[in-house]
Structure 1
Amino acid sequence: MRCLADPEIAYQTVRQSVELGINHLETARGYGQSERYLGLALQRQLPVDRARLYITTKLPPTPDRALMAQWIDESLERLQVDYIDCVGIHGINTPEHLDWVANGSYPAIADAIECGKVKHVGFSTHGSLELILAAIETQLFEFINLHYYYFYQRLAPAIELASKYDMGIFIISPADKGGKLYTPPSNLVDLCAPLTPLAFNYRWLLADDRITTLSLGAATPDELYPSLDIADANYPLTADERAIIDRLGRQLQTSLNTDLCSQCYACLPCPAQINIPEVLRLRNLAVAYEMSDYAKYRYQMFENAGHWFPGMKANRCNECGDCLPRCPQELNIPQLLADAHEKLHTRQGRRLWD
């Protein structure tokens, strides 16, 4: 997604990645020139055969069977390959998206698999846990791309269900979406020592043998190295790593005390359409671990990213009190929302498609 600036940089990044042992290259129709740049890179000399690489591209959900077939052919042409290992439906984020695919365009993907254009089909998602579980239960998909990190464990039931159906489990952006861990605050550095916060998050994921793929998102060859230093460390968590988890848990509890949101989601739905648990998760991270840069980065996406990051900003709270009797911790949610907005609100940034 980030190799958008220059085809030569994209080639050098791809070449260096496969030299270092990466064998899964993922792109998407919606990532600017990424498909075309990857196709150009694949046509140049690489140190491995095409047959040893797994190429994934992602296509938007649509109810139109003919359009989906057209998009598959266009991706094949841009990638300059005879087949695509994995096609993912890019962003099954709403029930309508799932219906579009399951009852509309899925036969086009099945046809592409039948004739050898595509080997496997899956989906990526920024949707609710309930929607993700429903999509897995259709058993139409062989892999899933989703957000799941030490600092965001809401989707643990989806990991469990996908594993039950032997699906490939691809974790989206552990370094960036997992907490902007490539530029961690000093407090988090101390809590995660002797590992870096980035290495700790990778280890927490790699120790889970249900998870099959972590994405890296390097924009240049140099950005490959911090992650690949730990890529083979897929053994169970060590005593030192479990001690880090204990420290992080104590810090969360002591710093937030009675203001700690446990992420039970009982407060939803909110009449003002505020994603209360996510707002308070970001507040938790900012207060407990000084992860304010990450929290602001994610918070500014509310009202700016549609179904990719649904929910209104916390200042939309009208103090109706609807959530208060549902909170098992008896949190003063309107007060915490106001505080979260004060801590996290910043100017709007630009999205990839801008």
Structure 2
Amino acid sequence: MLYRKVPKNGDELSILGFGCMRLPMKEDGSIDEERATKQVRYAIDHGVNYIDTAWPYHMEQSEPFLGRALTDGYREKVKLATKLPSWLIESREDMDKFLNAQLEKLKTDHIDYYLIHALVGELWDNVRKLGVADFLDKAKADGRIINAGFSFHGSGEDFNRIVDAYDWDFCQIQYNFLDEKNQAGTRGLEYAASKGLGVIIMEPLRGGNLTNPVPPAVKEIWDGAPAKRTAAEWALRWVWNHPEVTVVLSGMNEETHIEENLKVADEAYPNSLTETELQLIKKVEQKYRELMKVGCTGCRYCMPCPSGVDIPLCFEMYNNVYMSGNADETKFFYAARLGGILGGDPGFASQCVQCGECLEKCPQHLDIPTVLESVIEELEGSDLEERVVMVKQLFKKQT
């Protein structure tokens, strides 16, 4: 495992961090705790020392899970990160209330890396007005938090002013080869590093969109590279190639993914990609931009939908029509997965009543109701009910 230093405190953090937003799950939607615990501990045993969670992850169950998973001496082996849910803060007292509850959930007396979560300009203005600087100063002074930072999903202009507004130790931004100019982007990465902040990267694979599935046209480009690497390895190496990056978070929920990521994290030095390799990645980026219709990362911040729409899955299916090139197969899986046939309740795009609640929650600032109309047009149509019946019959025969 390679490690990089946080400039302000000298902590040596593993370049691969374990993100606990997409843990393995059981059929009933709960965390598969036995499997997830083994995964987290295996990663720690193999050098990962930065573990990231947050209040809302897994419907508020990620933090309690980690409190249990990090027993037996594992808490002492890692730097633990969690986040203050900025959108729920209505008073200065709320900040202490949430932090104290998180300490209890995580079974710890301190948070090593504490972030103000999912900031955009308006949320920052609100928590700043309510006294977040005083909260962070006092929480650091009394030892409940060690390092103060923020995660960010707003515009580049807001990013710089938030960086300048407090003596932060670190920040967390979305960054991958499709997001060089999105949100904080490359400019934000370089600006934060110039101010001495450690920079934690989220969504290096754009919620899996850069790896699952890999469109045939993109695979053809990867296959033409002299170095034979998976799409995930190319994407991770691209991020780690930037010396300003401290840690890259990966939502590893498959054992094979953990093994692959650990292997790459042994080798991914900054500035190690050749110019030829960088140009290859640029070609892949351009191809993705031709193919993708909606920039959803699958973070599920928009969920639950009051009308039951499974927004991220609708968008995943919508992108798959264009990335797979197989519309008929995608329509089949849309009926199966969104129709409740494989478990759960129906979550079709056509259930949307355009209440607009999701618009305030989306970190990518997508016009979700409008995109859902395109999903309806592309994937539902007059034969949706017929497809649902056919899929039900098919699965009935197989069981």
SS in 2 for 1:21: coil
Q: Does 1:2 align with 2:22?
A: yes
Separation in 2, partners of 1:96, 1:21: 38
Contact 1:56-1:87 within 8 A present in 2 as well: yes
Output one character per residue of 1:127-171: Cα deviation in whole Å (capped at 9) or x when no partner.
222222221121343222221110121122111211111112111
Q: CA deviation at 1:311?
A: 4.1
1:60 paired residue among 45, 62, 85? 85
- Change in Cα spacing, 1:245 to 1:311, as seen in structure 2 (3 Å) is closer
After TM superposition, the structure 1 stretch with the greater mean CA deviation from structure 2, 182-191 or 172-181, is 172-181
Q: Which runs of 5+ in 1 are unaligned?
A: 257-282, 317-337, 348-354
Matches within 5 A, 1:218-257: 218-232=252-266, 233-236=268-271, 237-245=273-281, 247-248=283-284
Question: In structure 2, what is the equivalent of residue 110 of structure 1?
Answer: 137
Matches within 5 A, 1:1-354: 1-3=21-23, 5-31=31-57, 32-46=60-74, 50=76, 52-61=77-86, 62-93=89-120, 95-106=121-132, 107-154=134-181, 155-177=185-207, 179-193=209-223, 194-232=228-266, 233-236=268-271, 237-245=273-281, 247-248=283-284, 305-309=358-362, 310-312=365-367
Contact 1:199-1:227 within 8 A present in 2 as well: yes
Separation in 1, partners of 2:149, 2:31: 28
Contact 1:68-1:109 within 8 A present in 2 as well: no
Contact 1:149-1:205 within 8 A present in 2 as well: yes
Output one character per residue of 1:178-215: Cα deviation in whole Å (capped at 9) or x when no partner.
63424312221221233322211111111101011111
Q: How many residues align?
A: 293
Question: In structure 2, what is the equivalent of residue 352 of structure 1?
Answer: none
Output one character per residue of 1:38-69: Cα deviation in whole Å (capped at 9) or x when no partner.
111122254xx70x411001111124211111
Contact 1:314-1:340 within 8 A present in 2 as well: no
Contact 1:145-1:172 within 8 A present in 2 as well: yes
Separation in 2, partners of 1:344, 1:121: 45
The one-letter code sitting in structure 2 at the alignment partner of 1:217 is G
Output one character per residue of 1:258-289: Cα deviation in whole Å (capped at 9) or x when no partner.
xxxxxxxxxxxxxxxxxxxxxxxxx9999799
SS in 1 for 2:217: helix
- Change in Cα spacing, 1:9 to 1:314, as seen in structure 2 (3 Å) is closer
Q: Percent identity?
A: 24
- Change in Cα spacing, 1:222 to 1:72, as seen in structure 2 (3 Å) is same
The one-letter code sitting in structure 2 at the alignment partner of 1:41 is A
The one-letter code sitting in structure 2 at the alignment partner of 1:12 is K
Separation in 2, partners of 1:315, 1:342: 11
The one-letter code sitting in structure 2 at the alignment partner of 1:60 is P
After TM superposition, the structure 1 stretch with the greater mean CA deviation from structure 2, 110-119 or 234-243, is 234-243
Q: Normalising to structure 1: TM-score of the pair?
A: 0.71
Contact 2:85-2:117 within 8 A present in 1 as well: yes
Question: In structure 2, what is the equivalent of residue 321 of structure 1?
Answer: none
Q: CA deviation at 1:341?
A: 9.1
The structure whose RCO (Cα within 8 Å, separation 6+) is larger is 2
Contact 2:210-2:231 within 8 A present in 1 as well: no
The one-letter code sitting in structure 1 at the alignment partner of 2:158 is L
The one-letter code sitting in structure 2 at the alignment partner of 1:228 is L
SS in 1 for 2:242: coil
- Change in Cα spacing, 1:345 to 1:150, as seen in structure 2 (3 Å) is farther
- Change in Cα spacing, 1:83 to 1:249, as seen in structure 2 (3 Å) is closer
RMSD: 3.7
The one-letter code sitting in structure 1 at the alignment partner of 2:68 is L
Q: CA deviation at 1:108?
A: 1.8
SS in 1 for 2:281: helix
Contact 2:211-2:232 within 8 A present in 1 as well: yes
Contact 2:211-2:231 within 8 A present in 1 as well: yes
Contact 1:127-1:308 within 8 A present in 2 as well: no
Contact 2:175-2:203 within 8 A present in 1 as well: no
The one-letter code sitting in structure 2 at the alignment partner of 1:23 is N
Separation in 1, partners of 2:47, 2:109: 23
Contact 2:149-2:168 within 8 A present in 1 as well: yes
The one-letter code sitting in structure 2 at the alignment partner of 1:192 is W
Separation in 1, partners of 2:247, 2:360: 25
The one-letter code sitting in structure 2 at the alignment partner of 1:196 is T
Q: Normalising to structure 2: TM-score of the pair?
A: 0.63
Separation in 1, partners of 2:221, 2:379: 22
- Change in Cα spacing, 1:308 to 1:131, as seen in structure 2 (3 Å) is farther
